[in-house]
Amino acid sequence: MQAPVESTMPISSEEETTFLPPIERPRGLMMKLVYAMSRRQYGKVLTPLKVFGARMPLAFGQFYGKISSLDKKLLLPSETAMLIREQVARTNVCLFCIDIGRHFTIKASMNQAKFDALGVYRTSSLFTDAERAALDFAAELTRDKRIEPRIVSQLARFYTERQICEIVWLVASEHFYNITNIGLNIHSDMLCEIGKKGREQSANH
């Protein structure tokens, strides 16, 4: 694969500017196709693709897709999996991941009231005890990088050993997304807002 066209712009240290300038016009047919697919799916080329993916060999970008493919093999309910991913992203304060995660939950018609209440999951009646146990585990592992045995015991009341491993997978793989974006100062792409405008335009026609 050909190297992307590197920008000559200096790296900015402003709070909401990515540490590396986005590559708007990549070289190579495959990367141009990836950009086109992103525009078709999301209404724009995703910033991580322009900042990270375009600078790396294609196989690195394909790794993102492998994570999504493996998520389809999980036995956990899809909503539980997305709650865990959102919990990790919120704990790490990855604004891009929080936004795109909500975008996926809206597209999948998941319970948006539950995702809105994620910050108060311990007291909200919207959540089951099983979900609270999974979210406690995800928050503690993300925040402390260790787990108290009692948290694992609580998790084992509701989930099989396979499902516990799946929860660990979700926390670990979400860190891959989060740290990539945080490390390059990639913020929200406002995908939820783009999707909202698209639905409003469709409703008016």
- Per-residue pLDDT for 5 more than 60? no
pTM: 0.89
Fold of 74-183: AhpD-like (1.20.1290)
Residue type, 32: K
- Per-residue pLDDT for 91 more than 80? yes
R_g of the chain computed on alpha carbons: 18
> Taking the mean position of all CA atoms in its chain, how far away is CA 125?
25
| Domain boundaries of the chain, sorted by first residue | 22-73, 74-183
Residue whose tokens read 């959540």: 127
Note the pLDDT of residue 204.
64
pLDDT digits (tens, 9 = 90+) for 28-75: 999 999 999 999 999 999 999 999 999 999 999 999 999 999 999 999
C-alpha–C-alpha distance, residues 4 and 50, integer Å: 10
